A = this chain, B = another copy of it.
Amino acid sequence: MTSAEGMQRLTDCRDRVDDIDVRILELLNERTRVVEEIGRVKRELGLPIYEPKREDEVFHNVTTKNSGPLPPEAVKRVFERIIDEMRQVQRARMIAQQAGHAEQGQE
Protein backbone atom coordinates (compact mmCIF):
# COMPACT_ATOMS: atom_id res chain seq x y z
CA MET A 1 0.00 0.00 0.00
CA THR A 2 1.49 3.37 -1.03
CA SER A 3 1.14 6.40 1.21
CA ALA A 4 -1.42 7.92 -1.21
CA GLU A 5 -3.45 4.70 -1.23
CA GLY A 6 -3.35 4.59 2.56
CA MET A 7 -4.53 8.19 2.88
CA GLN A 8 -7.38 7.50 0.46
CA ARG A 9 -8.37 4.44 2.49
CA LEU A 10 -8.35 6.55 5.68
CA THR A 11 -10.61 9.13 4.01
CA ASP A 12 -13.02 6.39 2.87
CA CYS A 13 -13.09 4.84 6.34
CA ARG A 14 -13.80 8.22 7.95
CA ASP A 15 -16.65 8.86 5.54
CA ARG A 16 -18.09 5.49 6.52
CA VAL A 17 -17.74 6.33 10.24
CA ASP A 18 -19.49 9.68 9.70
CA ASP A 19 -22.31 7.94 7.87
CA ILE A 20 -22.68 5.28 10.60
CA ASP A 21 -22.69 8.02 13.25
CA VAL A 22 -25.57 9.85 11.57
CA ARG A 23 -27.55 6.60 11.50
CA ILE A 24 -26.77 6.00 15.20
CA LEU A 25 -27.85 9.60 15.90
CA GLU A 26 -31.19 9.06 14.13
CA LEU A 27 -31.82 5.90 16.15
CA LEU A 28 -30.91 7.71 19.40
CA ASN A 29 -33.49 10.38 18.63
CA GLU A 30 -36.08 7.78 17.65
CA ARG A 31 -35.36 5.99 20.93
CA THR A 32 -35.77 9.26 22.86
CA ARG A 33 -39.19 9.79 21.28
CA VAL A 34 -40.33 6.30 22.31
CA VAL A 35 -38.95 6.82 25.84
CA GLU A 36 -40.90 10.09 26.03
CA GLU A 37 -44.06 8.23 25.03
CA ILE A 38 -43.33 5.63 27.75
CA GLY A 39 -43.06 8.53 30.22
CA ARG A 40 -46.43 9.95 29.16
CA VAL A 41 -48.18 6.58 29.48
CA LYS A 42 -46.57 5.96 32.88
CA ARG A 43 -47.62 9.36 34.21
CA GLU A 44 -51.17 8.75 33.04
CA LEU A 45 -51.22 5.34 34.74
CA GLY A 46 -49.46 6.67 37.86
CA LEU A 47 -46.53 4.25 37.43
CA PRO A 48 -42.97 5.02 38.61
CA ILE A 49 -40.67 6.43 35.88
CA TYR A 50 -37.59 4.58 37.10
CA GLU A 51 -37.71 0.79 36.90
CA PRO A 52 -34.39 -0.97 37.54
CA LYS A 53 -35.83 -4.31 36.36
CA ARG A 54 -36.57 -2.85 32.94
CA GLU A 55 -33.00 -1.52 32.70
CA ASP A 56 -31.68 -5.02 33.34
CA GLU A 57 -33.86 -6.21 30.46
CA VAL A 58 -32.35 -3.54 28.19
CA PHE A 59 -28.79 -4.65 29.06
CA HIS A 60 -29.76 -8.30 28.67
CA ASN A 61 -31.24 -7.60 25.23
CA VAL A 62 -28.11 -5.94 23.85
CA THR A 63 -25.45 -8.06 25.51
CA THR A 64 -27.04 -11.39 24.48
CA LYS A 65 -27.51 -10.16 20.89
CA ASN A 66 -23.97 -8.84 20.61
CA SER A 67 -21.78 -10.72 18.15
CA GLY A 68 -18.82 -8.32 18.47
CA PRO A 69 -16.19 -7.10 17.77
CA LEU A 70 -17.24 -4.63 20.50
CA PRO A 71 -16.86 -6.51 23.83
CA PRO A 72 -20.02 -7.02 25.97
CA GLU A 73 -18.74 -4.76 28.79
CA ALA A 74 -18.18 -1.96 26.26
CA VAL A 75 -21.70 -2.45 24.86
CA LYS A 76 -23.09 -2.29 28.40
CA ARG A 77 -21.24 0.96 29.16
CA VAL A 78 -22.46 2.61 25.94
CA PHE A 79 -26.05 1.67 26.77
CA GLU A 80 -25.63 2.84 30.37
CA ARG A 81 -24.75 6.27 28.95
CA ILE A 82 -27.71 6.17 26.52
CA ILE A 83 -30.16 5.21 29.30
CA ASP A 84 -28.72 7.84 31.62
CA GLU A 85 -29.02 10.63 29.02
CA MET A 86 -32.64 9.69 28.24
CA ARG A 87 -33.48 9.60 31.95
CA GLN A 88 -32.13 13.15 32.23
CA VAL A 89 -34.31 14.25 29.29
CA GLN A 90 -37.34 12.71 31.06
CA ARG A 91 -36.44 14.40 34.33
CA ALA A 92 -36.01 17.82 32.69
CA ARG A 93 -39.40 17.41 31.00
CA MET A 94 -41.09 16.50 34.28
CA ILE A 95 -39.60 19.51 36.08
CA ALA A 96 -40.70 21.77 33.20
CA GLN A 97 -44.23 20.34 33.38
CA GLN A 98 -44.42 20.71 37.15
CA ALA A 99 -43.26 24.33 36.83
CA GLY A 100 -45.97 24.82 34.19
CA HIS A 101 -48.61 23.34 36.52
CA ALA A 102 -47.41 25.49 39.39
CA GLU A 103 -47.73 28.60 37.23
CA GLN A 104 -51.19 27.59 36.09
CA GLY A 105 -52.12 27.02 39.74
CA GLN A 106 -51.09 30.56 40.59
CA GLU A 107 -53.35 32.13 37.98
Contact = CB atoms under 8 A, between A and B. Distances in A.
A18 to B, nearest CB: 5
B31 A21 contact: yes
A67 to B, nearest CB: 7
| Copies of the protein in its oligomer | 2
A17 B35 contact: yes
Give chain A's interface secondary structure class: helix
A89 B70 contact: yes
Interface residues of A, number: 56
A44 B13 CA distance: 15
Interface in A3-21: 3, 6-7, 9-10, 13-14, 16-18, 20-21
Contacts of A82: 24, 78
Contacts of A85: 70, 74, 77-78
Interface of A: 1, 3, 6-7, 9-10, 13-14, 16-18, 20-25, 27-38, 41-42, 44-45, 54, 57-58, 61-62, 65-71, 74-75, 77-79, 81-82, 85-86, 88-89
